[in-house]
Structure 1
Amino acid sequence: MAGTVVFDLDGTLADTSGDLVAAANACFRARGLGDLLDPTQDALTAFHGGRAMLRAGYSRMSTEHLLPPGAEDEDFDRLLSHYGAAIAVHTKLYPGVEAALDRLAEQGHRLAVCTNKPEALAETLLRELGIRDRFAAMIGADTLPVRKPDPRPYTAAVTGAGGEVGRSFLVGDTETDRKTAAAAGVKVALITFGPEGEAISRLAPDALLAHFDQLPDLARDWLG
């Protein structure tokens, strides 16, 4: 009996940090602050979302700069606009993603995406990367009134793909994914090739993935 494999997007299927940081830096430059984030050193911050990047940048401003009231909300909207206009300039799929998706499909498994990226941006990015048609369902941050780690987006992704939660698992890269899986009562595999590397083992997931080549065998073990 086939199961369902649900994927996070940013930092799991693709390294999106370069384009995310570029969008944040565009906001800082608009305020005359220059590029406050580094695409390599701040990659992990990028995967925690737009507001996390903005706050990290603001914390590095010189004391002579003062932000006007409402600056973060204004910059967040600006960041989304910049990001949407240049969503796949630096972004690349992690090695082995497409081959793993092919093998999972050959095994009969359903595939879905559950991300805290806004739905429209996630849809655009998956199309730009050429893999949208691999997934039977895609749930974004604003698809439902709640987002991960609430289990409802995960459940919606599984059922939207035609699967059953009891025969599914999540592939992710953050504590949010770990908490989502726990809330949904499913197993989680976390990647070790993202910005946090092997340190992600601190979250004690059910499995660690050093490469996507390992995923089909893991799915066979967990889902049959």
Structure 2
Amino acid sequence: MRTVIFDLDGTLADTSADLLAAANAAFDLAGHGAPLAADDALTAFLGGRAMLRLGATRLGLGWDEEEISRRYPVLLEAYDGAIDTHTRLYPGALDAVQALRSDGIAVGICTNKPDHLAEKLLQRLGVRDLFGVMVGANTLAVRKPDPAPLFHAISGVGGDPSRAVLIGDTETDRRTGRAANVPVVLVTFGPEGAGVTRLEPEGLLHDYATLRSVVAPFVDRV
């Protein structure tokens, strides 16, 4: 089975504004204001703890990893309560996924977002039913860049790793593909833009209108 697996944040949807708002809410509740801004989007796509580390450093708080972990649930609760205020699918993403399905290609999600939040966001965006599987941060005991979640996603839609490709936006996705020996296509419309070329992925996606042609060399192999 030909298979395309998608990362979620920064790949299918621009979630950065809502993620940053949740992190700022965690700082504000602790009496520290809102240290993160829109241009911190790249950090947002590295996860909640990364945002807390950046904000704490910026504020000179000296939080260690134990304190970061203690504050993390506060961020998650804030995000859960306002998960889709600003989040939108990237232009053309919906049509591109539907076109893959119409062509008989299996599609799934492999994200480091906590499972319940990923499921909730996909439902809110109205696209959950398009994906045959959703593998999140706590589906397995490990997460990306460990290859196990990607293999789990591929097998979950009846796919074959030799005819699969991962669509992502960060170094984490690139490392996951290398570990799994699965080609990776990185989007250039995420927060790092064309800077993802430094990661030397097997492919680049500049516009969802070209997705089918970009993944063809990987999924159409015989």
TM-score per shorter chain, which class?
over 0.9
| Matched AA of 1:133 | D
User: What does residue range 63-212 of structure 1 map to in structure 2 within 5 Å?
Assistant: 70-212=66-208
TM-score by length of 2: 0.95
3-state SS of paired residue (2:39): coil
Q: Structure 2 CA distance, aligned partners of 1:69 and 1:163?
A: 38
Q: Is 1:221 aligned to residue 220 of structure 2?
A: no
Q: In structure 2, do the counterparts of structure 1 residues 69 and 150 end up closer, same or farther at CA, with 3 Å as the change threshold?
A: closer
SS of 1:6's equivalent in the other structure is strand
Deviation at 1:71, TM superposition (A): 3.3
Corresponding residue pairs, total: 220
| Contact 2:18–2:85 under 8 Å retained in 1 | yes
Cα distance per residue 1:126-155 (max 9 Å; x no partner): 111111000001100110001111111000
Which residue is 1:50 aligned to? Answer: 48
Tell me how far 1:181 sits from its aligned partner. Answer: 0.7
1:67 to partner: Cα distance: 5.9
Return the TM-score normalized by structure 1.
0.94
Return 5+ residue gaps in structure 1 as ranges. none
Structure 1 pair 36–101 and aligned structure 2 pair: CA distance change class (3 A): same
2:6 is equivalent to residue 10 of structure 1: no
Unaligned runs of 5+ in 2: none
Superposed displacement of residue 100, structure 1 = 0.3
CA distance in 2, matches of 1:69, 1:156: 29
| Cα deviation 1:196-223 (Å, max 9, x = unaligned) | 0001100010111111111111233322
Root-mean-square deviation over aligned CA pairs:
1.5
The aligned amino acid for 1:31 is A
Paired with 1:31 and 1:51, the residues of 2 have a C-alpha distance of 16
Moved over 4 A (4+): 65-70
Q: Given the superposition, is the C-alpha separation of residues 216 and 66 from structure 1 closer, same or farther in structure 2, using an over 3 Å criterion?
A: closer
Q: Which has the higher helix share?
A: 2
| Amino-acid identity (%) | 50
